Amino acid sequence: MEVVDKVLAGKRITEEEALWLLRESELLELGQLANFVRNKKHPDRVVTFVIDRNINYTNICVCKCKFCAFYREPGSKEGYVIDRDTLRKKIEETLELGGTSILIQGGLNPQLGIEYYEELLSFIKENFPQIHIHGFSAPEIVHISRVSGLTVKEVIERLKKAGLGSIPGGGAEILVDRVRKRIAPNKVRTKEWLEVHETAHNLGLKTTATMMFGSLDKDEDIVEHLKVIRELQDRTGGFTAFIPWSYQPDNTELGKLIKEKASGERYLRVLAVSRIYLDNFENLQASWVTQGGKLAQVALKFGANDFGSLMIEENVVAAAGVKFKMPLDEIIRLIKDAGFLPVQRDTLYRKVRAFQ
């Protein structure tokens, strides 16, 4: 078969071929092919993971995404903006548990301008210079630029100067505006998401790319998403990893419409096609937060080389009823039982320590 030969020969596949693999290929053969690509890129039988903490600095948000159970509207009694003591405590706990970074994200809060973010970053860096700050996804960056009347470039430059170390790929959902308009009508469009990441890469900040599939997307949309991020990676090389996960419907507005989660089979197919098509991405994450430990183990044979994060705290997916909590020992056991050496890494994928 032509596409299989192409992959085995290390050649790039087309969108049509990716679509064929997603729809028509036999699952185990697809897995083998993705595993072949993964082993070529990472021949050392290592699976990495990061120890970090999600810190959601505010849940107040004007975006009202239909798949989100986390946000509260301005004026809500349950709305919050994190105070310094809570923030300090969360970072101290992260460091005590061997964490190297924090993932700081929040809602699009109309009360917060660039100065708030600069002060937040400076506070963290002054008190915890050793911690890496991975923070503020593309919708937040665009939101700050609008609230403060700055360009995206100016916002990223100022945040970087204040201590921002890298940018997460959140808010990508599916990078096809036809779908975005339906699931997140107020969120940044594809062009803006890509612009934030390209600008960050050009300013020397690494970022990750994500994809949330399994809502109103079709096979073609998934392939289109992969296409636009592969093109951007060709231009900049600034993505460290790709992280696909499936839409979690519980407690969300969209959940009234789409109650079913993507199956495990679908998840593995998307993961494997991502590994094969995204030939310019080094790292592919398995999502145990949405898929659970057992499927995440299988994912390691379907192209993934990274187990994501030992998240000390995760509020956004937890708000949608998904509460997989996994202590360090369990992550290590799962990786070892799947036949790999667990290695803690930092946010920029540099190895920190191996667990023999």
For 150, counting Cβ atoms within 10 Å of its Cβ (0-12 exposed, 13-18 middle, 19+ buried), the class is middle
Cβ 96 to ligand SF4 shortest distance, Å: 28
Cβ 61 to ligand SF4 shortest distance, Å: 3
| DSSP 8-state assignment for residue 204 | T
b/e per residue 121-136 (b: at least 16 CB within 10 A): bebbbeebeebbbbbb
Q: Does 147 bind ligand SF4 (CB under 6 A)?
A: no
User: Can you say how many angstroms the Cα of residue 5 is from the centroid of all Cα atoms in its chain?
Assistant: 31
Return the residue of 6, 12, 41, 64 that touches ligand SF4, per CB under 6 A: 64
The pair of structure tokens assigned to 144 is: 């700050």
Q: Which of 286, 288, 306 is nearest to 349 (CA)?
A: 306
Q: Does 108 bind ligand SF4 (CB under 6 A)?
A: yes
Q: Does 72 bind ligand SF4 (CB under 6 A)?
A: no
Q: Does 68 bind ligand SF4 (CB under 6 A)?
A: yes
Euclidean distance between CA atoms 341 and 330, whole angstroms: 14
Q: Does 107 bind ligand SF4 (CB under 6 A)?
A: yes
Return the residue of 4, 21, 51, 61 that touches ligand SF4, per CB under 6 A: 61
Q: Does 60 bind ligand SF4 (CB under 6 A)?
A: no
For ligand SF4, the closer of residues 107 and 244 by Cβ is 107
Return the residue of 6, 35, 63, 88 that touches ligand SF4, per CB under 6 A: 63
For ligand SF4, the closer of residues 139 and 308 by Cβ is 139
User: Under 8 Å CB-to-CB from 15, ≥6 apart: which residues?
Assistant: 223, 224, 226, 227
For ligand SF4, the closer of residues 64 and 227 by Cβ is 64
User: Is residue 52 a contact partner of residue 328, using CB atoms and an 8 Å limit?
Assistant: no
Per rule CB under 6 A, count of chain residues that contact ligand SF4: 10
In this structure, what are the phi and psi dihedrals at residue 325, rounded to the nearest 5 degrees? -110, 130
For ligand SF4, the closer of residues 134 and 301 by Cβ is 134
Task: Determine the interface stretch with ligand SF4 among 45-53, 65-73, 154-162, 253-261 (rule: CB under 6 A).
Answer: 65-73
Q: Does 71 bind ligand SF4 (CB under 6 A)?
A: yes
